[in-house]
């Protein structure tokens, strides 16, 4: 019999496969045309997400990227609009500049701190041109990201979000939260999702990250926001027909996988503190708040992160290189505590092996 080797896929929380219960729900999903507004399970999912986030309405969209793009386009529907966002935010770094190239919205970046926040006084100083003077675009929107992916899944505390929310109200602006992993933030902070996003005008939530659904995101906001969002979704080609099949999997994901996020966070801490004990690996376990870990090699190590990643792939352990000097590992519900222990022991063996061969 052929040995099936073990695979531990830590590249992202997007790599999960639909579970048996998801596939069962997908198989029997009652469907209809969602562009016409009749798919019953899509409507059920949207109602559920609106409830969980404390907003009036919700809309299923094909991806988080499209969810953010639609949200920005709806809030900045006047030509010459500007959005203030973090210089290390997913919207700015990883979404092909769509708000500018497709939306004609001008991005005004402000420095992201290591914890994913942006200093409130810097945000306030960046707001410009409420009176529509000749030279400047007009700020209409502020975007936050929770959890903040590129800073290693850091949670923005509710007090901070409330303060940014107050600032947006004071200046007549809107607040959008890229909440791709808002459920991770909620679980880690012990604050309900609806409370976390209370001051936001819109939120984009990924179903296919930690929640483990195969496809989709949901955006939430007021009824009038969602009515406009529906038209933009159609314009972008994101209106789809019998999506009940996808939404059925998402409903199972919410029910069965949200409670497992705490275990993902626990496993991430376990992995980070294990890595921290391995010679040559640089990781700060205290910086791990949710399910994302970034690690580097110590400056004096002769072994590069790239070599480590390649060598671990040969043992079936997959991570994602992020630039030349760091790599990312993301925990999800299909990684067990035993997978974490296995990963740590492979790490140890791999590093000893490379060192014995003279490093690189």
Ligand X SMILES: *Cc1c(COP(=O)(O)O)cnc(C)c1O
CB 87, CB 109: distance < 8 Å: yes
Please provide the size of the chain in residues: 360
User: Measured from the CB atom, is 138 or 184 closer to ligand X?
Assistant: 184
Any residues with CB less than 8 A from the CB of 70 and at least 6 apart, and which?
59, 61, 219, 229, 232, 233, 236, 238
Nearer to ligand X, 112 or 301 (CB): 112
Q: What is the DSSP string of 194-213?
A: HHHTTT-SEEEEESSSTT--
Q: 35: closest CA among 249, 242, 223?
A: 242
Q: CB–CB of 201/175 below 8 Å?
A: yes
Residue 60 or 347: the one with the smaller Cβ distance to ligand X is 60
Per-residue x/- track, 269-288, ligand X (CB under 6 A) = --------------------
Site string for ligand X, 131-170 (x = CB under 6 A): --------------x---x---------------------
Q: Is the Cβ of residue 303 or residue 319 nearer to ligand X in the bound state? A: 319
Site track 23-62 with ligand X (rule: CB under 6 A), x = hit: ----------------------------------------
Tell me how far apart the alpha carbons of residues 25 and 41 are, in angstroms, rounded to a whole number: 11
Nearest to ligand X of 42, 281 (CB atom): 42
Tell me how far apart the terminal alpha carbons of the chain are, to the nearest angstrom. Answer: 37
Q: Of 241, 217, 186, nearest to 69 (Cα)?
A: 217
Closest separation in Å from C-beta 90 to ligand X: 4
Q: Which of 18, 64, 210, 274 binds ligand X (CB under 6 A)?
A: 64
Q: Which of residues 66-105 bind ligand X (CB under 6 A)?
A: 68, 90
Q: Which residue stretches of the chain are H helix?
A: 20-27, 40-53, 64-75, 90-94, 98-101, 120-126, 158-170, 182-189, 193-196, 223-235, 244-257, 261-276, 305-314, 337-356
Q: How far is the CB of 190 from ligand X (least distance, A)?
A: 21
Q: How far is the CB of 36 from ligand X (least distance, A)?
A: 25
Site for ligand X in 178-237 (CB under 6 A): 178, 180, 206, 208-209, 217
Number of residues that bind ligand X (CB under 6 A): 13
**Residues near ligand X (CB under 6 A):** 63-65, 68, 90, 145, 149, 178, 180, 206, 208-209, 217
């Amino acid at each position: 019999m052929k040995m099936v080797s073990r695979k531990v896929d830590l590249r992202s929380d997007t790599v999960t496969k639909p579970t048996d219960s998801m596939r069962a729900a997908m198989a029997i999903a009652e469907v209809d045309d969602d562009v016409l507004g009749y798919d019953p399970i899509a409507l059920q999912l949207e109602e559920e997400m609106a409830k969980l986030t404390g907003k009036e309405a919700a809309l299923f969209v094909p991806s988080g990227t499209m969810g953010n793009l639609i949200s920005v386009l709806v809030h900045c529907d006047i030509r010459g609009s500007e959005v203030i966002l973090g210089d290390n935010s997913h919207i700015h770094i990883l979404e092909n500049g769509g708000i500018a190239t497709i939306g004609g919205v001008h991005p005004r970046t402000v420095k992201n701190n290591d914890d994913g926040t942006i200093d409130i006084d810097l945000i306030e100083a960046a707001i410009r041109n409420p009176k529509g003077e000749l030279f400047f675009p007009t700020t209409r929107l502020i975007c936050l990201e929770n959890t903040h992916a590129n800073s290693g899944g850091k949670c923005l505390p509710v007090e901070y979000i409330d303060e940014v929310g107050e600032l947006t109200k004071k200046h007549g602006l809107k607040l959008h939260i890229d909440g791709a992993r808002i459920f991770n933030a909620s679980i880690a902070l012990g604050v309900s999702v609806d409370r976390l996003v209370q001051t936001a005008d819109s939120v984009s939530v990924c179903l296919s990250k930690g929640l483990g659904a195969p496809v989709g995101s949901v955006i939430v906001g007021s009824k009038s926001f969602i009515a406009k969002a529906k038209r933009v979704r159609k314009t972008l080609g994101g209106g789809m027909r019998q999506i009940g099949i996808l939404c059925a999997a998402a409903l199972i994901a919410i029910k069965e996988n949200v409670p497992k996020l705490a275990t993902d966070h626990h496993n991430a801490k376990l992995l980070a503190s294990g890595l921290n004990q391995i010679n040559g690996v640089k990781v700060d376990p205290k910086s791990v708040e949710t399910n994302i870990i970034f690690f580097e090699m110590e400056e004096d190590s002769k072994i590069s992160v790239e070599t480590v990643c390649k060598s671990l792939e040969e043992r079936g352990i997959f991570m994602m290189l992020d630039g030349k000097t760091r790599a990312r590992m993301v925990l999800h519900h299909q990684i067990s505590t035993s997978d974490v222990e296995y990963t740590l022991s492979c790490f140890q063996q791999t590093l000893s092996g490379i060192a014995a061969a003279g490093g690189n």
